[in-house]
Amino acid sequence: MDKKIENVVFNQIINDHLKPNIRQIDEKSYYPKEFLNAVGKAGFFSSNFLQMEDVRCGELYIIEETAKFCMTSAFTLWCHLAALASFRLSNNPYINNHLLPFFESGDVLTGTGLSNAIKYYAGMERIRLKAEKTDGGYMISGSLPNVSNLDHDHWFVILASLNEKQRIICSLPVNVEGLILESKTNYIGLNGSATYACFFDNVFIPDKWIISEEADEFIPKVRPILALYQIPLGIGVSQAAIESIVKSHLKNKEVNQHFKTQHTELIKKLQIVRTRTYEYARYVDLNTIGKEILLTRLDIAKLTPEVVHAEMLYSGGQAYIQGNDTFRRLRESYFLLNLSPTIMLLETLC
């Protein structure tokens, strides 16, 4: 499909399946499952016959475009794409030939429970899940406090420790026996992200669901992709905020010209981050630029709050009205600071 046609198709999906539900997503914990299904059915999750660099650029774009309207929905999109990145790196034939096609079709959606893994390999957290080898697979026990983009028919990705020397990466469906989910909806934002605490009571994971039995080697391969795909969350929110600032500036130039932060400066900063992000997506081996990706992820984590705070000032009193998009973007921006890798972790690593 031609790139311009793809953009038109995606914009239509946003108009039909996302825009009408944004208030419900933000205020009523409405999970945008229909939107995600529609994105998949239109082919935006497919990697068939494509260079991986083109896949990455396309997936960055749909996260960015979604985040312009709703970062909660963009985050659920990131969760699915983060899981897809893990599945695509697997050497397990069952995953490659049977599971991945379902996930790329959008008929079956996925989440990722790898936050614990990212923090563990950064030396910030112990591994929360334990694995025990058994006939035909592994038994998993433990708990994860927050896993997003889950529903009754979804799958997700986890890391578990077999012993001090070996850790494994697994996939599993939400409806597996021994898994208990507890809904989490008391956040200031992102309540529509279908986030759950997950409790594992001897959950059996057959060998065919194992993504990798060598997590120590696998995580460094997938980690740059996860971080790269988080950057357009901030880009999209920032673009929407800047558009709002420009409109406010034009309405009252005499007053707004005295603000220290001007939209022209913010546009330049954001364009630098965006250009760099899409350039990184073109690298064949992202591990060679892992540090640069983390630095850019840190840049957007700092820039997005700056932009949305400026938008609050430019918008004035209307930003304090319930349901206002400006205040929603302010709340969304704080999630970007705490999404693993958090801004504290990024500053430590960089």
Q: Domain range for residue 85?
A: 3-105
Q: Which two tokens stand for residue 41?
A: 């059915």
Asked if residue 143 and residue 57 are part of one domain, the reply reads no
Asked if residue 132 and residue 95 are part of one domain, the reply reads no
Contact call for residues 141 and 130 (beta carbons, < 8 A): yes
Phi, psi angles (nearest 5°) of residue 176: -70, 150
Asked if residue 229 and residue 122 are part of one domain, the reply reads no
Q: Which of 76, 105, 134 is the last residue of a domain?
A: 105
Asked if residue 116 and residue 84 are part of one domain, the reply reads no
**What proportions of the chain, in percent to the nearest 5, are helix, strand and coil?**
60, 15, 25
Asked if residue 120 and residue 64 are part of one domain, the reply reads no
Is the pLDDT assigned to residue 135 strictly greater than 90?
yes
Which tops the pLDDT comparison, 190 or 255?
Answer: 190
Q: Which two tokens stand for residue 250?
A: 């034009």
pLDDT of residue 309: 93
Asked if residue 32 and residue 97 are part of one domain, the reply reads yes
Q: Which of 214, 244, 259 is the last residue of a domain?
A: 214
Is the pLDDT assigned to residue 30 strictly greater than 80?
yes
Q: How confident is the model over 47-97, as pLDDT tens digits? A: 988 899 999 999 999 999 999 999 999 999 999 999 999 999 999 999 999
pTM here is 0.95
pLDDT of residue 127: 97
Asked if residue 223 and residue 210 are part of one domain, the reply reads no
Give dist(CA 116, CA 159) in Å, integer: 8
Phi, psi angles (nearest 5°) of residue 200: -105, 120
Asked if residue 123 and residue 101 are part of one domain, the reply reads no
Band (pLDDT 50/70/90 cuts) for residue 275 is very high
- Find the CATH number of the domain harbouring 100: 1.10.540.10
Asked if residue 82 and residue 138 are part of one domain, the reply reads no
Q: Which of 167, 194, 214 is the last residue of a domain?
A: 214
Q: CA nearest 295: which of 282, 313, 308, 276?
A: 276
Asked if residue 226 and residue 126 are part of one domain, the reply reads no
Is the pLDDT assigned to residue 2 strictly greater than 70?
no
Question: Into how many domains does the chain fold?
Answer: 3
Q: Which two tokens stand for residue 19?
A: 């825009």
Burial class (CB in 10 A: 0-12, 13-18, 19+), 128: buried
**Who contacts 92 (Cβ-Cβ below 8 Å, separation ≥6)?**
208, 210, 211, 212
3-state secondary structure (DSSP) of residue 74: helix
**Who contacts 184 (Cβ-Cβ below 8 Å, separation ≥6)?**
146, 195, 196, 197
Q: What single string gives the DSSP state of each residue in 225-279? A: HHHHHHHHHHHHHHHHHHHHHHHHHHH-HHHHTT-SS-HHHHHHHHHHHHHHHHH
For all residues of the chain together, what is the average pLDDT?
93
Asked if residue 196 and residue 233 are part of one domain, the reply reads no
Asked if residue 73 and residue 150 are part of one domain, the reply reads no
- Find the CATH number of the domain harbouring 187: 2.40.110.10
